Amino acid sequence: MSDRISRRGLARAAAAAAVGAALPIPATAAPQEPKEPDGHVEAEYRKIVEKLETALSAEAQKLTRAAIAGNLAASKERWKTNLPENSEPCFTFSPSPRERTA
């Protein structure tokens, strides 16, 4: 491939960049509640409600269930990630002595 670019090629690239920059960016969708209540979601929701001292409003219940469903879906996707053999973690834990304060 040639290392040089023609004036027409440069004009095409500039026009494509301008059109791409002018396109609207789609808004991110709000988390949706699953159509059918999932047993795992309800079990996690019950655990959360048991730890709370006050009752949740209807909107808070809906948002909590949606957040639990989203967390479960994200964790399922993470399990699909294949790591290469003998891969190392991206962090190293090194213990250090506790500093004494007087």
Residue 34's pLDDT is: 45
How many domains, in total, are found in the chain? Answer: 1
Domain containing residue 41: 32-78
Q: Is residue 98 part of a domain?
A: no
Separation between Cα atoms, residue 58 and residue 86, nearest integer Å: 48
The per-residue pLDDT for range 45-69, each reduced to its tens digit, is: 899 889 988 888 999 999 999 999 9
Residue 17's pLDDT is: 74
Residue 29's pLDDT is: 56
Which pTM does this prediction carry?
0.46
Q: Is residue 43 part of a domain?
A: yes
Q: Is residue 57 part of a domain?
A: yes
Which amino acid appears at position 11 of this protein?
A: A
Residues of the chain with pLDDT under 50: 34
Separation between Cα atoms, residue 8 and residue 63, nearest integer Å: 53
Residue 78's pLDDT is: 82
Separation between Cα atoms, residue 66 and residue 34, nearest integer Å: 7
Residue 59's pLDDT is: 94
Q: Is residue 61 part of a domain?
A: yes
Residue 16's pLDDT is: 76
